[in-house]
Amino acid sequence: MRLASLNDGSLDGRLILVSQDGRHATPAPASTLIGALQNWTQAEPALRECSAALEAGKASTFEFDPRRCAAPLPRSPQWLDASAFLNHGRLMERAFGTPPIPDFDTVPVMYQGASDDFLGPHDDVPLPSEADGIDFEGEFGVIVDEVPMGATPAQALAAVRLVVQLNDWSLRALGQREVRTGFGFLQAKPSTAFAPIAVTPQALGPAWQAGRLHLRLDVDWNGRRVGTPSAAEMNFDFGQLIAHAARTRRLHAGTLVGSGTVSNADRAAGSACIAELRMVEKLTYGEIHTGFMKFGDRVRMQACLPGGEPGPFGMLDQRVVQAGPQQ
C-alpha cells in the first residue's frame, strides 16, 4: 500500500491511496493517516480493500499530484532521528571538531526533533539566514504503531507500519554549538520535509530486508548529482533504533523514527549532505571548496532501486527561501 496526504489546510491533511504507478489516487476510507494509525487493526483491512480496488481500476480516481501533498504524516507524536550510518557520524565528528561519541558502534545515538510542523515534498523551506550553514540530510524513516516501554528490537520491528523518505534540514553553524552544549539539536533543526508517499513494508518487497532498506538515495543539488549512497549499509536496523527510543518510554502510534543521513564508506557514493562533502574535500585536498546552500538553491532526492528505476516514495524537491522578518 502507498499512502499520501493532501494538503487541505488542516493540521493532519487528507489521506489518499496512490496507485503503484504513481499516476492515480483515490480517497482513503480513513480521513487522516494519524487516525488510521491510531486504529490500525480496524483501518488496515479497509485501506487494503480500497488499494486493491484502485489497482484493479475499480475505484473512483483522480490524477495524483505530489505538488498538492503535505508530508504523508504532517505531524506526529514524536520524531526521533538516529545517526545509524556510522560513516556519516565519523565524518561529522571531524566536521564539528568534537570528541568521539562514546559507544558509537554499539549504542545508537538519537535526537528528539520537532514533530508538529513537517513540510511537504514541494514546499519551500523558509530559513532566516544563509550564515547559519544551510544543509540537507537525505534519510529514510519508519512510522510505528504503539510500542510499549522496554520492547525488544524484534517486537519493535514488528510495529513498523510505514516507511518514508525524508530530508532532515540542518543548520550547521548552529549545530556545532548545540552539539557542544550536550543538550542536542534544536535551532539547528528546522522543519523536516518528506517525500509524498509512505509505503507499507510489504509493498517494498525485497527492498525491505531485516529492518533495512535496500535502496539507493539519489541526491541532486541545483542539478548536480552529489550522492548516490545505499541505505543497506545502515549499521543499526530500524528494530534496534525503535527499541532504543522505547527504552524508558512508550511510543504512541504514529511515532516516527529516522535513520540519520544515508552514508557509505565507499566515497564513490558521494554524500547525502553538504557537511560530509566538505569534510571529504578537506581530507582529500586539505581544504574545503564547497559552501553551504544559498537562498534559491534547490535539492532533489529520490530513492532508486538497485537497477536505477525510481523508488516508491516519489520525489522530494524543495527550494530554500529567506524567511520574512516573521514567517
**Which chain residues interact with its own copies by CB under 8 A?**
75, 77-78, 80, 83, 96, 98-99, 101-104, 107, 109-117, 126-128, 132, 148-151, 155, 171, 174, 177-191, 244-245, 247-250, 252, 255, 323, 325-327
What amino acid occupies position 145?
Answer: D
Whichever of 77 and 201 has its CB closer to its own copies, that residue is 77
CA–CA distance, 257 with 105 (Å, rounded to integer): 19
Closest by Cα among 207, 263, 210 to 240: 210
Give the shortest CB-192-to-its own copies separation in angstroms.
10
**CA distance linking residue 314 with residue 82, whole number of Å:** 23
Q: Smaller CB distance to its own copies: residue 46 or 107?
A: 107
Min dist CB 56 to its own copies, Å, is 37
Q: CB–CB of 177/51 below 8 Å?
A: no
CA distance 3 to 161: 11
Residues in the chain: 327
Closest to its own copies by CB, 179 or 277:
179
Q: How far is the CB of 30 from its own copies (least distance, A)?
A: 17
Q: CB-wise, 93 or 220, nearer to its own copies?
A: 93
C-alpha–C-alpha distance, residues 46 and 248, integer Å: 34
- State how far the Cα of 291 lies from the Cα of 129, in Å rounded to an integer: 14
Is 24 or 75 the residue whose CB approaches its own copies more closely? 75
- Residue 84 contacts residue 157 (beta carbons within 8 Å): no
How far are the Cα atoms of 133, 199, 219, 285, 295 from residue 290, in angstroms, in the given order? 11, 35, 16, 12, 15
CB of 180 to its own copies, least distance (A): 5
Report the candidate in 145, 162, 262 with the shortest Cα–Cα distance to residue 208: 162
Q: Which is nearer to its own copies, 118 or 221 (CB)?
A: 118
In the complex with its own copies, the residue whose CB is nearer, 60 or 248, is 248
CA distance 210 to 230: 15
Q: Are 321 and 125 in contact (CB under 8 A)?
A: yes
Alpha-carbon distance 221 to 206, whole Å?
29
Q: Smallest gap, in angstroms, from Cβ of residue 8 to its own copies?
A: 16
CB of 106 to its own copies, least distance (A): 12
Rounded least distance, CB 103 to its own copies, Å: 7
193 DSSP β-pair partners: 119, 167
